[in-house]
Structure formats: structure tokens, C-alpha cells
Structure 1
Amino acid sequence: MNGTIPNNDRPLTLDPTMIRRASDNKLFLYTTAKNGSVWTSDSLYGPWTHAGSAELPERGGAPSIHMINDTYYMYYNNHEFNYRTLGVKNKQAQTRYHGACLLVASSKTLEPGSWEQHGRLEIDWAMKYNILDGALITVEENDTTRHLLSFGSYQQGIFQLPLANPPTQLADGAMDRLTHLANNQSIAPVNGPTEASYIFKWQDYFYLFFSSGHCCINREKAWTDVGDVYKVMVCRSKEPRTGYVDDQGRDCVNQSGGKEILVSHDGIWAPGGQGVMLDEEAGGPIMYYHYVPYDEETNTPAMAYQFGWNKLDFSSGWPVVV
């Protein structure tokens, strides 16, 4: 990229979402909501311009923006909702690591400050998931439009449920139609280090991208081993709601399935929080993500995050980062 690489020196700022505005093809890159930044560019290669903060009223994170018709919808999480107001007595629901919720906003322009708030998605709190990292896929089948939201972090991994049309609230009976998509337990944490899902349709398959491992420094401001930090995994299915397996045929819910496609290497540490988009400038699909710059001389990861992207090659039937 030319010029400044989109970045933020606050450890809470990660999980980018990127989209082109339909009216002028301008790129908008949002990071962790009010704690993060908004960057804009006319090209994937830059130069990128810092456009300020997201200007959302909630203290949130992990934004994910999707366009439907002429409106942009953003899903982002918040760690401050009081589930006791809904009668949830479990103390886990009052912790940052199990008390998140998802909120929805919409905009016609993508500009900071233009977002209309639609409130919290009323997903029931449960021990098996944390309600964050929402990402939408819209499926057209037999003249029917379905909006499907994947979400989840740690606990038992990634889940999905249907949203209404427009997708600002749950569909009728959504909680009864909850499905389990992935739960990778192949590294240190025994409760399933699986989060940041993103589903991308390519040819005959739905590809479920997710991040596995520790995203961030721990409470002692230190990183875990390279094998336990963020990496990007993928599973696929011919159905958007179930049946995801990896390239070895392992079930991605019950057998810790997941094909690694991007791991720490060279000057890149803990890549993840990814999204996928089809982009004409790149000549095909790309994957974008955050990573931590790594000093190879001192073997030290930085205390900061930067934005990166790569083309994806699907010629083998599985995405390869190029």
C-alpha cells in the first residue's frame, strides 16, 4: 500500500470491515466502533486517509457492514448491556467475556456520523456463546431473500440465526432456528477459541472464514505462544446454515475442523478479524484483516494493530492467500 497503512495504537482497536460505496466506488474502512477509526481511500493500494472516529453512541467493537438495496447496515458489539434487566441471573452474563450483545445501525452514505441506530438484536443470552462478532450473508433462493447472521466468540464457537427484512431485528421465531456452524478447539483454550466469522459465497460453496486463537495481549500485557495466537481458518458447505467441513472432511462443529489459510509469518503476527469481498480493482475476491507488526530482529510483536489485505485464489476449491 502507498502512504500510511491504516492503523491504530490502541490494543482494543482491531476487527476491520471494508466496503465500497456504490455511488462513487470510494472505500470505507471501519475498525472497532467508537474506540477505533474510520479510513477512506479511492484504491485498495492507498493512499488511505484517516476520516475520524465512527461516532457511534455505544462503546462497541468488531463492526461489520453490508449493503442491501440502497442501504448500508452495520452490526457491532457492546460489552456493557445489563442482562439482569431481562432476568438473566447467571453471573457470567455480567462479565466482559460472556456479556456482550449486538447492535444494528444503518446509513445511506457510510459517512461517520450518518448512522441511524436500530437498537439491540434481542438474541437470548446463553452459556454456549458470547453475542458478538456479527456478520451478515444474504441468500436469494426461489425468489425468496434470507438474511442470515453469524455470530459468536469462544464458549462453543460460531452460531447463526435469521434476521427479518430489512435486517434490523430478529426474524420471527429466530431463536428456534439457531444453528451451530463451527467450534475449533485445536489449540490451548479448552472452551473453543473460535470467533470473528464471515461467510462468503463463491461458485457452488459457502465458505465460512473464522479466527482461531488469542486475538490480543493478556492481562499481563504479554502474548501467548505463536501457535496459540490468531490465525485465519476456513470451512465450507453447499448450504449456508449447516454442514461445514474442512479440506480433510472434518466436521467443523464436532471435530474441530478448519483449514488454516493465514498464520503468523515473517513480520506478520496474529492475523485475524477478517472479512472477504469481491473487488474489481483486485480482479477477484480478497481477504482483509488486522495484524500486529512483528520485529524479526528482536522477535517482538508490537503493541499495535495494522490493516492488511491479500488476494484469494479459489482454483483448488479452497481459498489460498496470494
Structure 2
Amino acid sequence: MKRTRLILLIISFLTLQFINVSILFSQNSNIYQNPVVAESLPDPTIIKAKDGYFYLYATENIRNLPIYKSANLVDWTFLGTAFTKDTRPDFEPKGSLWAPDINYIDGKYVLYYSMSVWGGEWTCGIGVAVSDKPEGPFTDKGKLFRSNEIDVQNSIDQFYIEEKGKKYLFWGSFRGIYAIELSKDGLSIKPGAEKKRIAGTAFEGTYIYKKGKYYYLFASIGSCCEGAKSTYKLVVGRSKSLFGPYLDKTGKDMIDNGYSIVIGPNSRFVGNGHCSEIVQDKKGNDWIFYHGVDLTNPKGRILLLDQVRWDKEGWPYIEGGSPSLSADKPVF
């Protein structure tokens, strides 16, 4: 009996030492693992604030829009929410807050958001809120428009961009991608502005990134929200003009639902899409967040991170064409 106890003590000691070494290795490792946050954070958006930290916002699986903070894109701290019960937008009384888009405009942190009930494609719309600080609190400025007011079904998934001193909003979800000019402060539609159709009905979750002579329109196709059966993929087209035509690698126009795949599924993660803004680390490497479904625990849409690389023709890609399980950390 004493010998058995001694053996068990030795095994326990060695196990404890192994755990301690593993923790120490994890803390000092230059490797990160996906998901970087194993909580449901769909449709992420990110900004590097004036304080040098990164702030990330997501669709409200955490009610009132969650806000996270990080110094290195890998280790995230939950700060709270953009809104409270009392400050929550209400132009869609039973609606949820989806797909935020964070920006810094004229000294203010400006948060565009979608508000919708599932299936309410003619009553949903896009609103805007502002704050002096990236962590909030945000003050709602109300809706920019509803679907039935701008005559674009499923008016959600907005993206803000500036071009030659003008401000524009892109939006749309499987009913066409559209763009329109905003007012000088970005808080309303410019009087008399006309909407312009940019892409076809295969897409939602628009993000546009300028690199070199091209604008790259990232979008998502497929089903986002069917758990392990989700077919979401991140795709891209590019143009020499902000307003298109955006063409895929074969020359097919995104107006005609052409696209080239950037991120598809693998044996661990499916339903991968709706990307954040691209951000750079200190070495100039490009990084992108997006959500996916972890087949080992397919509840919610968890936060994934990968480096964006560029091939010799200037097209973006992710190593292996699907989410990494682990990779070198961003350099900060």
C-alpha cells in the first residue's frame, strides 16, 4: 500500500510540474491559438485608438454590443457594452443590434450599427452612435435609414469609408451591395445623395481595403448562422475605383456575383466570414479577424484571427485557405 501511495505521489508531482511548464511555455510563447476568444463574437470590427490599444466590437450575443480591449490582438479583456438598457437604440423596438462598424471621425468615435429582427428585411435599418472614448459610453444619434425608406431590402451590414475628403456608407445583405454619400460629419445621409449598386445578391458583410492601386472588396457568402452546418466563406474582388467594377481573379464582375475565395472551411472551423478591418503589427504584417463555428463546441460564432498575405499578383490570401489552428503571434 505504501509503495502504491509513493507511486501516486510521484505521478502527481510530475503531472503538476508538467502543468507548470505548459503554463510557462504558453505565457512566453510566440504562438497563438484559434479561437483567440472562445466566446460568441460575430461580425467583429476593430480600431486602434488614440491610447495605443485595440478595441473590438461585435454583434450582440452579449446584449447591447460587447467591447473588448487588447494591446497585441491576441489577449483580450471584456470592458462592457456600447449601450445600456436605458441608452439602447430603439428605432426597431424588438430588434437586435448587429454588425457594428467602428470609426474615428472628426475627433469622435463613431459606431454604425444595424438593427433588425430575424427575417424583418423591410423594417430593419442602420443607425449611428458617438463617443469621446472607444470604451464608451456611446450616445445614440438614431437611424440613418430603414430598408423601406431607402428601398433596399435587408439594409444591414454597413461599412464606412472616406475617399478624397468625402464620406461614404456601403451596406447590404443578399439583396445587393449599395453605397451612398454621407454628410460632412458622417451622421446622416447627404441631402440629395443617390445610392449606387456595387455588387450582386450573393454577398453581405462588406469591407473595403485600399492597397496599392486597388480597392479590395471583402464580403461573405453562404449561410452564417446554422451552427455546424454553416457554409459562410470570406471572398474578395478588386477594382481601381472605389465604386467598381469589382472583379474576381477570372475577371467576373461582383455585380454578376463573381468572387474569389479567401477563407473556406477545414476540419475544425466552418462558417468562416464577416471580417473586421485589416490592421498591421509593428513589422507591417496585415491581420484580420472574422467569426467562425468551432466544430469541437459549435455554439455561437467565435473570434478567429489570421495573417493576410498577398500573392505576386496582389491578391489577398490566408495560409492554407482556411483558419489556422495556431500561428506566430502579431509583433507588438
- TM-score where L is the length of structure 1: 0.79
Which of 174, 184, 189 matches 1:170? 189
Instruction: Tell me which structure has the larger Cα radius of gyration.
Output: 2
Q: Is the 8 A contact 1:160 1:180 kept in 2?
A: yes
Instruction: State the partner residue of 1:118.
Output: 141
Shift of 1:209: 0.3
Alignment of 1:77-226 (within 5 A): 77-79=114-116, 95-112=119-136, 114-122=137-145, 125=148, 128-140=152-164, 145-155=165-175, 157-174=176-193, 177-183=194-200, 192-217=201-226, 224=229
Structure 1: 5+ residue stretches without partners: 81-93, 184-191, 296-300
Which of 34, 40, 49 matches 1:21? 49
Q: Is the 8 A contact 2:59 2:98 kept in 1?
A: yes
Tell me: CA distance 1:98–1:321, structure 2 relative to 1, closer, same or farther (3 Å).
farther
1 CA distance for matches of 2:218 and 2:107? Answer: 26
Tell me: CA distance 1:285–1:76, structure 2 relative to 1, closer, same or farther (3 Å).
same
Report the AA paired with residue 30 of structure 1: Y
Instruction: State the partner residue of 1:188.
Output: none
Shift of 1:149: 0.7
Tell me: CA distance 1:294–1:258, structure 2 relative to 1, closer, same or farther (3 Å).
same
Instruction: State the partner residue of 1:62.
Output: 99
Please, what is the CA RMSD of the aligned residues? Answer: 2.3
Q: Which runs of 4+ in 1 moved over 4 A?
A: none
Q: What secondary structure does 2:276 align onto?
A: strand
Shift of 1:3: 11
Instruction: State the partner residue of 1:83.
Output: none
Which of 236, 246, 260 matches 1:234? 236
Q: Is the 8 A contact 2:106 2:185 kept in 1?
A: no
Instruction: State the partner residue of 2:111.
Output: 74
Deviations 1:144-177 (A, max 9, x none): x11111100112x211111111100001212xx2
1 CA distance for matches of 2:56 and 2:38? Answer: 11
Q: Is the 8 A contact 2:127 2:145 kept in 1?
A: no
Q: Is the 8 A contact 2:208 2:215 kept in 1?
A: yes
Tell me: CA distance 1:4–1:196, structure 2 relative to 1, closer, same or farther (3 Å).
closer
2 CA distance for matches of 1:95 and 1:252? Answer: 25
Deviations 1:58-104 (A, max 9, x none): 24111011122422211101116xxxxxxxxxxxxx95244210000
Structure 2: 5+ residue stretches without partners: 1-31, 90-95, 320-332
Q: What secondary structure does 1:248 align onto?
A: coil
Tell me: CA distance 1:265–1:2, structure 2 relative to 1, closer, same or farther (3 Å).
closer
Counterpart check, 1:251 vs 2:231: no
2 CA distance for matches of 1:95 and 1:2? Answer: 35
Instruction: State the partner residue of 1:302.
Output: 298
Q: Is the 8 A contact 1:35 1:61 kept in 2?
A: no
- Between the aligned residues of both structures, percent identity stands at 26
Higher relative contact order (CA closer than 8 Å, sequence separation 6+)? 2
1 CA distance for matches of 2:98 and 2:205? Answer: 11
Alignment of 1:258-277 (within 5 A): 258-277=259-278
Q: Is the 8 A contact 1:282 1:311 kept in 2?
A: no
Larger helix percent: 2
- TM-score where L is the length of structure 2: 0.76
Shift of 1:36: 4.3
Shift of 1:4: 8.4
